[in-house]
Amino acid sequence: MKKYSITGMLFLSILIFPPRSADAENQGWPDRLRVVFLPSDGKEATLAHFAPLNDYLSRMLGLSVEPISFDTYSETLAFLGTRKFDLAYLSPSTYSQALAWLPLEVAALELGSDVPFCLSGGTAAASGRGERLCPLPEIPSAPHVVLVFPGFISETKKVYQHPALRPCGERPGDDGWTPTFAGVLERLRRGRVSEVVFNRLETPVFELYPALRGVRDFLRDAGCMAAAVSGSGSTVFGLCGAYETALAIRDQAHERMRMDAEAVSMWHPVQHSTLGGAV
């Protein structure tokens, strides 16, 4: 198994081996190498992109390589659960058999940058891709939230690559926060949520999807304390101080914007302490 160990060292940064059973250990080196690739750009494009890597593995190991990919993330994760593969390359975050034998936080990050927060809950400031969470005191009198889904999905890649997106220009201090964001955190600690709602991505989002500006403005005019696009879209949220206000705005969205009942929903944050520290 010396050959197997060397390969693991060479490709540690991008490739991982699944756990092997006792039977697999007794079988020795496989006759072919089955390699799984996460479909970042669709199945066919992914396989074409990694063809040089497959050729390299075949030459170095003296084995035939069977590349495997799928059209969706869910299909890929389902296949990984079968453990019928030898190596897996799963894009920037390396993991395999995610839900079965790696920390849940690692699997969550690959599913989405905001999923790790959903595991911890509470109130937190996020940095990096969204996976670096700094717990914050719970917001007093958390507002009710109205969510509006406009019926289409925005393309995150286009939003982040749009020339209208500009960096803030501030440098973070010793605490890791820019002066503006430090002020945001202070307002949150005082429960002044509506004063800090801001999304820099709205500039490119509104240029790409003008209808979302109309949804945001509708929520503001209807009585929300604040409203903004959520991330790169396409969902838009509005904050309300009272349940009755949120309910009325939800009903207005159904009637005036002709939104289906499923497209407009109303939520209220659950205080972390009421769940015993777990979500």
Lookup: tokens for 55 = 């050729």
Residue 227: the pLDDT is: 94
Q: Please, are residues 54 and 35 in contact by the beta-carbon 8 Å criterion?
A: yes
- Is 123 a member of any domain? no
Domain count, the chain: 2
> Do 147 and 30 fall into the same domain?
no
pTM: 0.58
> Do 265 and 183 fall into the same domain?
yes
Q: How far is CA 270 from CA 147, 152, 274, in A?
A: 16, 28, 7
Q: Are strands 87-89 and 236-240 parallel, antiparallel or unpaired?
A: unpaired
- Is 120 a member of any domain? no
Which are the contacts of 25, defined by CB distance < 8 A and separation ≥ 6? 1
> Do 156 and 257 fall into the same domain?
yes
Residue 238: the pLDDT is: 93
Backbone angles phi, psi at 216, to 5 degrees: -60, -45
Residue listed under structure tokens 């501030």: 170
> Do 67 and 190 fall into the same domain?
no
What is the distance between the alpha carbons of residues 145 and 136, in angstroms, rounded to a whole number? 20
> Do 177 and 248 fall into the same domain?
yes
In sequence order, what E strands does the chain have?
32-37, 64-68, 87-89, 123-127, 132-136, 144-148, 226-229, 236-240, 264-267
Residue 68: the pLDDT is: 92
Domain that holds residue 40: 2-104
DSSP letters, 105-131, are HHHHHHH-TTHHHHHH-SEEEEETTTT
What is the distance between the alpha carbons of residues 64 and 59, in angstroms, rounded to a whole number? 9
> Do 86 and 210 fall into the same domain?
no
Residue listed under structure tokens 């209220």: 268
- Is 129 a member of any domain? no
Domain boundary among 104, 123, 157: 104
Residue 104: the pLDDT is: 57
Regions of the chain short of the pLDDT cut 70: 1-30, 90-112, 119-121, 129, 131, 140, 259-262, 269-279
CATH number at residue 240: 3.30.70.890
> Do 148 and 271 fall into the same domain?
yes
